[in-house]
Chains A and B, each alone.
Chain A
Amino acid sequence: MKRLAAGLLIALALAALAGEFLLPARYDQQFREETDALPGAKHPLGTDELGRDRAARLLAGARVSLLLAPAASVLAIALGATLGLTAGWFGGWWDRAVSTVIDLMISVPIFLVLITVRAVLPLNVSPVSSVMITFLLLGLLGWAGSARVIRGACQTQLNSDYVLRALAAGCSRTRVLLVHLLPNLWPVLRTQFIVAVPGFILDEANLSLLGLGVAEPLPSLGSLLKELTNLPTSPNWLGLAAPAVLLATAVGACEFLLPPKEGAS
């Protein structure tokens, strides 16, 4: 099942990357005489209200979300791992300080921070820069949960027998950290990464629902999901539902890549 999930994700990523070559229309091209067209030979998923090819926009949106969400996750996990590991490893006042910052970051509503930060950003940025800034902000603000988990895991490992034995055998603290501790924390880091990816995609989707996500004309899965509100009245249910299906597939595939819970068959 994991292979299937990984294969699906790779296929999605390839389709997103090759989207420009697979479809005849650009994602921002407005066919103004063909607005709200139903799926057909020219537009496989129809067109949106401005006459833009839904399939081209779906692949471009997937490219944006499926490439930048993992990048934001890497950033968030790197920050979370650095702070969580050092807090767990050094303990004392540093641990207390980091824990306080983590609590603070978790208690502050991330959307309010994002909206505030976006309001003070320079206006004249291209859509590509805008989407990168959005995901950069998500990465910079979304590390706290991972840091808490990694700190806890680090403390558990520090109290385990193999670390005590290594230290008793005369291993240096650096060697214990790099050779023993980090490899044992790797599954935790990997899990945190996989959990964070769909989280960031959904965060960007929520920002887009507020109209504060990726700038026009660049699409993202989030901005495309906004149109689901028209589903009850639009005859083009396929074109409107496709982003949701793609997002569900990507998130589902990520979930299958997670290690099984203990005791699960």
Chain B
Amino acid sequence: MSWLLSIRHAVTALILLALPLLAAEPVVLKFCLRSEPKTFHPLKAGDDASETVRFLTAGTLLKVNRKTQLPEPSLATKWKVLDGGQVVQFKLREGIRFSDGTAFTPEDVVYTFKQVAEIRSGFTDSLRQGDLAPTASVTGKNEVTVRFAGVTAGWERLLDGLGILSEKSPAKEKAVLGPFMVAEYKTGQYVLLGRNPNYWMRDAQGQTLPKVDQIRLDITTNRDLEALRFRRGEIHMINKVEPDTYQTLAGQMPGAVRNAGVSFESEQLWFNQVTKSPIPAYKLAWFRSSGFRRAVSESIRRDDLARIAMKGLAVPGVGPVSPGNTVWFNSKLKPHAYAPAVALAKLQKEGFRKKADGLYDAAGNRVEFSIITNAGNKTRERLATMIQADLAEIGIRVNVVTLDFPALLERITRGYSYEACLLGLTNVDQDPNGQMNVWLSSAANHQWNPSQARPETAWEAEIDKLMRAQARTVVLAKRKEMFDRVQAIVHEQAPFLYLVHKNVLTAIHPSVRNSLVTVLFPHVFSNAEQIELQSSGVYRSAR
């Protein structure tokens, strides 16, 4: 019997030895990046994938609460705005270390601002005024003063994206102050983020954060594959779900989909108004006429677009700011009403004539144009097909052309060899300053007529003036007044025909706890450090 007892003891000992190993199995939160991250440098991040990694790894002076949309202390415990908004004094948190153990000091903040001045990227440009970058200096114990080149409206939002770098760490930008740090990266496959052992934040019970050990970001460009992997439990979350996928998932996993309401994003149509574009002069004349653009806009049934093409998961498009952006939306504006008779009357005023076989301009040219959109996007294909049918009712013939994305970008950004384009704006900033690259007539993203040497129309000149003025104004009410006027001009002139404002649609596996769904980017992991995973039951496979 003694040998039997010995075996039993040995087995017990083995189990006891194995228990800590089992317990040490890391808890991994998994979701997808839809493209390869272009950089892990927090000041250079511009694409979605890089911004996701930056958001999860970088520590910032303050953080905009994605729920309340208000700034909250982070590395800075408090701040004071001086000189009418040109200077901000920050009191820094004490006793913090970077992920590699290097101490966080005020000199790191100063160093970060020096890097902002040296590195040119979309993000660092947004902090500049002209060519002048903000500067920082140590002005007391744990106190840093940041001086912007001019009064900078919405500086809180800009600093929410400024990842603080370490001046002294040998790991350079790899040393981070956020909840996670980049642990492994396989090109084309995944980015593995590990827990930052020195992360300063604690939960309400005083427990260390983050709650999961790792985040695995699988690089999956195919959205159908992403949805399939979600259904199989191989990933835990989808940050942005298309309406078709949302409906499918809602049928199969009703508890997993979330509709957070109207997003800041929109789908829009615009006409090519570039003077040097290779389109016929008579078509350019149509497209540059606000009467023509308004008539087209008023011939589109936006209610149907939202109900059918967007599966009821959107609202009719109003203007540059979605009703979801409660702070900046101009509530006096309403979507252009569907009124084909009024539209035809407008067109007739401009010399257009409706005949039995269609609409003709004053010179006898048949009104016909093509709408390009990106191939494979079912929602946009549906939108374009419905617009095609709507415009046929007033005699306009529309040809829908789907192109692969690089070919489409080539046409709208370089050759300008297109007539109308249907695309959407994504990750739209809450603050109007985030849209400067769209509204300034000199901007490259002023899609209908980009990079103008000087404004070609009076209304574009007025928008330029208003946008620049609001960026130099600190008082929110005054800024709102100016940006309301910008919205009204855009609504009147219709350089973009806003079709729909999409809802924020996400999917979160039932095994995920504490995920906060927000209208602001990132929609499902803005509180990544608080997210927990249910460790048992059917969802274990996702670990």
A binding-site residues for B, Cβ under 8 Å:
28, 30, 32, 35, 49-51, 115, 118-119, 123-127, 130, 210-212, 215-217, 229-230, 232-233
Contact = CB atoms under 8 A, between A and B. Distances in A.
Given A124-B368, A216-B381, A211 B402 contact: yes
B385 to A, nearest CB: 4
A124 B399 contact: yes
B404 A212 contact: yes
B389 A217 contact: yes
A44 B252 CA distance: 28
Contacts of B304: 32
B473 interface: no
Contacts of B385: 50, 216-217
Interface string B374-416: 0111000110111011000000010111111001001000000
B401 A123 contact: yes
A154 B412 CA distance: 50
Interface residues of B, number: 36
A217 B384 CA distance: 10
Nearest to B301: A32
Nearest to B304: A32
Residue with the highest number of chain A CB atoms closer than 10 Å, among B247, B248, B397: B248
Contacts of B407: 115, 119
Given A126-B399, A215-B400, A210 B375 contact: yes
Contacts of A125: 399
Given A123-B370, A212-B375, A51 B308 contact: yes
B386 A124 contact: no
B380 to A, nearest CB: 10
27 contacts: A32-B308, A35-B308, A50-B385, A50-B386, A51-B308, A119-B403, A123-B370, A123-B399, A123-B401, A123-B418, A124-B399, A125-B399, A126-B397, A130-B399, A130-B401, A210-B404, A211-B376, A211-B381, A215-B399, A215-B402, A216-B381, A216-B384, A217-B388, A230-B244, A230-B248, A232-B248, A233-B248
A49 B382 contact: yes
A153 B382 CA distance: 48
A49 B407 CA distance: 28
Contacts of B47: none
A212 B370 contact: no
Nearest to B386: A50
B314 to A, nearest CB: 15
A233 B248 CA distance: 6
B389 A124 contact: no
Contacts of B308: 32, 35, 49-51
B251 interface: yes
Nearest to A120: B407
Nearest to B283: A124
B372 interface: yes
A216 B166 CA distance: 55
B419 interface: yes
Q: Provide the main secondary structure of the chain A interface.
A: loop
B224 interface: yes
A62 B34 CA distance: 36
A185 B244 CA distance: 51
A211 B375 contact: yes
B286 interface: no
Contacts of B397: 126
Contacts of A232: 248
Smallest CB-CB A-B distances: 8 pairs: A211-B375, A119-B407, A123-B370, A211-B376, A216-B385, A216-B400, A211-B402, A124-B370
Contacts of B247: 233
B369 interface: yes
Interface string B350-372: 00000000000000000011101
A123 B411 CA distance: 11
Nearest to A125: B399
B388 A124 contact: no
A124 B419 contact: yes
Contacts of B417: 123
A94 B365 CA distance: 50
A148 B386 CA distance: 46
Contacts of A32: 301, 304, 308
A124 B400 contact: no
Residue with the highest number of chain B CB atoms closer than 10 Å, among A123, A126, A127: A123
Contacts of A124: 368-370, 399, 419
Contacts of B399: 123-127, 130, 215
A55 B370 CA distance: 28
Contacts of A211: 375-377, 381, 402
B338 to A, nearest CB: 12
A229 B399 CA distance: 26
A216 B417 CA distance: 20
